[in-house]
Amino acid sequence: MNPVNNRALLFGGQGTQYPGMGKEIYNAHEECRHIFAVASRIFERDIARLCFNGKQDTLNKTQNTQPAVLAVDLCAYALAKKAGHTFHAAAGFSLGEYAALVAAGVTDIEGAFTMVKWRTESMLETMNDRPYGMLAAIQISVEKAEGLCRRVTEGEVFVSNHNSARQLSLSGDLPGLRAFRKLAQENGTVTIPLHVNQPFHCRLMEPAARGYAEKLKSIPLKSPAIPLYMNAVGRAVMPEEDIRDLLVRQVTAPVLWKETLETMYADGLLSFWECSPKSVCSRFLKETLGNWEYVYRFVLQNEGI
């Protein structure tokens, strides 16, 4: 089976941001300048300046991270298409799912930025002033992590991302995350704080999901032109499923990324291209599927794009 004919797109999400991201391709390609211009118009601020000149702490704020990372994801995809590459499936990690919607023909660039603006606004409008965050946990099963979450009595913490066969993420308020870290350390599990300030993909986000669901009703969405693998279900969308419903569920449900990668491979997808500021999805791919010869990982810069 030729991997070029079984090529899948992977789009990165929050946590991949860094100052200066996208500057080189923005300067070199009109397509990228157009994408940043659309983002700036919809978000009513200069997203290019934010990406290229913003400090890390500024980029880490949800209202800044989401348009910035989406812009870079979409730029990488635009350049892959410009170079003549075709793709046969798409998936995006959390925020990256909105770039995957564009790649699958469900919406256009303007629609993706509009939905992400609504998503961001719903989060900021409905979340209270409690300090929130996320952690990555290494070499621990979902079942064991959930057991530790139930033992936390100070604050709240939940398993929120099934990142790979080696790593998962947790979301919660800071007292809950601190308590989880202590329990994890006692059990020999390494935890790493993530650069986010919201408790994504857990029930703490239910108020945001309700507000977002109302806003989503007004946007037109098409059926995917290629298989679209979505976070809430960890597989390709079925014809009878409502993409809007899955986007809303993604706000409060764990990201089933490990399951998504396993399903994509089982469905015959052997070549994976990552469009993202950093190669986080490629690392999760390697940790989940291994270094087998028939698993391909391409970095767009190395392809001369």
Q: Can you give the CATH number for the domain in which 261 is found? A: 3.40.366.10
Q: What pLDDT score does 5 carry?
A: 64
4 pLDDT band, cuts 50/70/90, is low
Mean pLDDT of the residues in the chain:
91
Answer yes or no: do 145 and 122 share one domain: no
User: E strands, 127-262, where?
Assistant: 132-138, 157-161, 167-173, 190-193, 228-230, 235-236
Least confident residue range of 36-50, 59-73, 278-292: 278-292
Same domain, 64 and 208: yes
Whether 303 shows a pLDDT value over 90: the answer reads no
271 pLDDT higher than 90: no
Residues 101 and 28 in one domain: yes
Residue with tokens 């079984």: 6
User: In terms of pTM, does the model score above 0.85?
Assistant: yes
Strand-pairing partners, residue 171, are 134, 158
How deeply is 266 buried, as exposed, middle or buried, from its count of CB atoms within 10 A (0-12, 13-18, 19+)? exposed
Q: How far apart (Å, rounded) are the C-alpha atoms in residues 268 and 1?
A: 9
pLDDT score at 126: 74
Q: Could you tell me the pLDDT band of residue 60, with boundaries at 50, 70 and 90?
A: confident
Question: What pLDDT score was predicted for residue 155?
Answer: 94
218 and 110 inside one domain: yes
User: Do residues 208 and 94 share a domain?
Assistant: yes
pLDDT at 232 over 90: yes
Q: Are residues 100 and 216 in the same domain?
A: yes
Q: Do 88 and 189 fall within a single domain?
A: no
| Residues 228 and 90 reside in one and the same domain | yes
| Domain's final residue, options 197, 226, 249 | 197
Percent of the chain exceeding pLDDT 70 equals: 93
Domain range for residue 99?
3-127+204-303
The total domain count for the chain is 2
How do beta strands 89-92 and 228-230 pair? Answer: parallel
Q: Decide which of 160, 178, 197 is a domain's last residue.
A: 197
Domain end call among 168, 197, 226: 197
Q: Taking the CB of residue 24, how many other CB atoms lie within 10 A of it?
A: 12
Distance between CA atoms of 48 and 289, rounded to whole angstroms? 35
Tokens encoding 47:
């997203």
- Same structural domain for residues 151 and 242? no
Give yes or no for a contact between 15 and 280, defined as CB atoms under 8 angstroms apart. Answer: yes
Residues 102-155 have pLDDT tens digits of 999 999 999 999 999 999 999 888 777 789 999 999 999 999 999 999 999 999
Within a 10 A sphere around the Cβ of 131, how many other Cβ atoms? Answer: 11
* Burial of residue 236 (number of CB atoms within 10 Å: 0-12, 13-18, 19+): buried
Asked if residue 208 and residue 176 are part of one domain, the reply reads no
The reported pLDDT for the residue numbered 292 is 58
Q: Tokens standing for 249? A: 């569920």
Query: What CATH number should be reported for the domain holding residue 185?
Result: 3.30.70.250
Do the beta carbons of residue 223 and residue 169 sit within 8 Å? no
Same domain for 189 and 212?
no
CA distances from 186 to 5, 135, 155, 168, 191 (A): 47, 16, 19, 18, 11
Q: Do 88 and 12 share a structural domain?
A: yes
